[in-house]
Amino acid sequence: MRRIDLADAGFLYMEKRQTPMHVGGLHLFTLPDGAEATEFLGQCLEVLRTDEPYRKPFGDYVAHGRAGALGPLYWEKDRNFDIDYHVRHSALPQPGRFRELFVLISRLHGMLLDRNRPLWESYLIEGLQNRQFALYTKMHHAATDGAGAMHMANAMYSTKKSDRSERSPFSLAAYEEYKARYRAQKQARVVPRGAELRNVSEVLREQFDTTAHLLGALRRFGGAFIGRGEGLAVPWHHVPHTSMNTNVTGARRFVAQSWDFDRVRAVCKAANGTVNDIVLAMCGGALRRYLISQDELPKHSLKAMTPVSLREEGDLDSSNAVGFIVADLATNLDDPEARLRRTQESMQAGKSLVQSLSRREAMLFMQITQVPALLTSVLGLASRFPAFSTVISNVPGPREQLYWNGASVDGMYPASIVFDGFAMNITLVSYNNKLHFGIVACRRSMPQVQRLIDHLEDALQELEEMAGLVPGGSQRKKAPVSRKKTVSRKKPVARKKKAASA
């Protein structure tokens, strides 16, 4: 029985029937050459169902203390652990395209996890075309964050096609081995993990090296509200109302797509921006197009909450170590270069603010400045006073081609959380020279969310033209055909057709 950190427990307290608080990942694979599908998938299921000690808290359920559901929460070992409940075998109906896959993931992602059991489920999915199969895993955000999920995926897969593993993805032993490998690779001195983050008032009582950093940061943060922000974008300040900022229902839409990392890198180099800058500019351009098509482009620009990891290098154990910077997406500007520069400026200001703080101060700062957002959510006011327009999260993933018992890992698409006031979430993972985008939205608030995929491609082409990488004007080049094994974009000619509904 271990008390759950307040930062983690928040995701349990805030969970409602309409707003499950789990994160998901959809991984795509191709069967190894010559492997027989039923036999190979049977072996995969056996691996997923391996009975061995799990890393915490994936063998634990959430227990209440004496104070009940709103008092402190605890992780307690599930002595009735039932692996067949957690590992599930599913199939797609004919014709087994990505469309059918996304419909299934949309459905699975909208369902609450069972609080009586460890808070995760895995679905091995057959019935895809081209000898592909998929694994969708959902885990409660109280148990892990995006970077933590990436480390778990890394621990599960291998860079060698010939490697075989009989370890569950949640295996404690496999994870300890992975950590040892990871730390050896990094050859960095690993600082022992400090005391777990306690709640704000407890921490405030302690002494910082200097409180000046924190007070200075809060002063700059406050200054942005009264127009002295030096490019810093802050929550609530001129955040417009759109269909993205409504209260959400329990149903979701999930869409995903991969882009070549090299295309984005080329724009970075030519336009002098970071990968994150260009990704945000893609999203800003896509959202501007989307809002125009929905006839609801607001006067003020959309603001995106972009989570930043506050994990120390080598900290593979924290379940949640996330702060945020507010990016100005400049959706009110038509010129792509002006949009990019405005976004860069806001990111730079946010980064310099976070960097002025120690990691511990940064986490405290994030907690203090997030308190109003928690309050408006709990009070049901988030859709009336949106703190941000959307969440855009960029999670660094493994760089090399990975394999799962010989099956190539073709794509890793994250599926994150939407909440009242934030009806859409864009998360991307960089893996094997591709950027894998996963977009989750409330099914009712954003029924046309799948169009964002085309808009993202258009926005990237626009940035390529801006950077002089491709000829501009009305004769845009067609996007290079995606590798078959990742989710392929609809061809531009098909765009005028009514988008398929999930």
Which residues have CB under 8 Å from 75's CB, separation 6+?
A: 1, 2, 4, 56, 57, 60, 61, 62, 63
Stretch that binds a copy of itself, among 1-9, 34-42, 175-183, 473-481 (CB under 8 A): 34-42
Least spacing, CB of residue 422 vs a copy of itself, in Å: 17
Both tokens of 47, joined, read 């691996």
Out of 8, 60, 100, 145, the residue judged to bind a copy of itself by CB under 8 A: 100
Residue 118 or 323 with smaller CB distance to a copy of itself = 118
- Beta strand ranges found along 19-152 (DSSP E): 22-30, 60-65, 68-77, 87-91, 120-126, 132-140
Stretch that binds a copy of itself, among 114-122, 205-213, 264-272, 397-405 (CB under 8 A): 114-122
Using rule CB under 8 A, residue 80 touches a copy of itself: yes
Out of 93, 192, 227, 473, the residue judged to bind a copy of itself by CB under 8 A: 93
Least spacing, CB of residue 130 vs a copy of itself, in Å: 17
Stretch that binds a copy of itself, among 67-75, 105-113, 142-150, 408-416 (CB under 8 A): 105-113
d(CA 86, CA 128) in angstroms, rounded, equals 22
The residue among 291, 283, 305, 282 whose CA lies nearest residue 244 is 291
Using rule CB under 8 A, residue 111 touches a copy of itself: yes
Using rule CB under 8 A, residue 107 touches a copy of itself: yes
Stretch that binds a copy of itself, among 80-88, 150-158, 292-300, 481-489 (CB under 8 A): 80-88
Residues that bind a copy of itself (rule: CB under 8 A) add up to a total of 36
d(CA 430, CA 398) in angstroms, rounded, equals 7
Binding positions for a copy of itself, 232-261, rule CB under 8 A? 249-251
Residue 41 or 329 with smaller CB distance to a copy of itself = 41
Question: Hunting for tokens 């070992």 — which residue is that?
Answer: 77
Least spacing, CB of residue 239 vs a copy of itself, in Å: 25
Stretch that binds a copy of itself, among 2-10, 89-97, 191-199, 297-305 (CB under 8 A): 89-97
Residue 112 or 297 with smaller CB distance to a copy of itself = 112
Out of 35, 63, 112, 381, the residue judged to bind a copy of itself by CB under 8 A: 112
Say whether 141 is catalytic: yes
Angle (CA) 445-446-449 rounded to 5° is: 165
Stretch that binds a copy of itself, among 113-121, 385-393, 418-426, 453-461 (CB under 8 A): 113-121
Using rule CB under 8 A, residue 294 touches a copy of itself: no
**Alpha helices, DSSP H only, in 310-450?**
336-355, 359-378
Number of residues written out for the chain: 502
- Print burial letters for 306-336: b (CB count within 10 Å at least 16), e (below 16): bbbbbbeeebbebbbbbbbbbbbbbbbbeeb
DSSP 419: B
Torsion of CA 283, 284, 288, 294, to 10 degrees: 40
Using rule CB under 8 A, residue 18 touches a copy of itself: yes
Helix (H), strand (E) at residue 281: helix 275-293
d(CA 4, CA 62) in angstroms, rounded, equals 9
Residue 115 or 161 with smaller CB distance to a copy of itself = 115
Least spacing, CB of residue 297 vs a copy of itself, in Å: 23
Helix (H), strand (E) at residue 269: helix 261-271
Which of 27, 86, 141, 436 is the catalytic position? 141
Cis ω for the linkage preceding 240 (within 30 of 0): no
d(CA 366, CA 379) in angstroms, rounded, equals 20
Least spacing, CB of residue 416 vs a copy of itself, in Å: 20
Residue type, 333: L
Which residues have CB under 8 Å from 225's CB, separation 6+?
A: 234, 236, 237
Binding positions for a copy of itself, 427-456, rule CB under 8 A? 443-444, 447
Using rule CB under 8 A, residue 85 touches a copy of itself: yes
Using rule CB under 8 A, residue 467 touches a copy of itself: no
Which residues have CB under 8 Å from 235's CB, separation 6+?
A: 303, 305, 326, 369, 372, 373, 387, 388
Out of 2, 65, 72, 116, the residue judged to bind a copy of itself by CB under 8 A: 116
Stretch that binds a copy of itself, among 63-71, 108-116, 134-142, 484-492 (CB under 8 A): 108-116
Least spacing, CB of residue 92 vs a copy of itself, in Å: 6
Binding positions for a copy of itself, 123-162, rule CB under 8 A? 126-127
123 touches 25 (CB < 8 A): no
Using rule CB under 8 A, residue 103 touches a copy of itself: yes
Query: Which residues are marked as active site?
Result: 141
Residues forming contacts to a copy of itself in the complex (CB under 8 A) are: 17-18, 37-38, 41, 80, 82, 84-85, 88-95, 100, 103, 107, 111-112, 114-117, 126-127, 249-251, 443-444, 447, 501-502
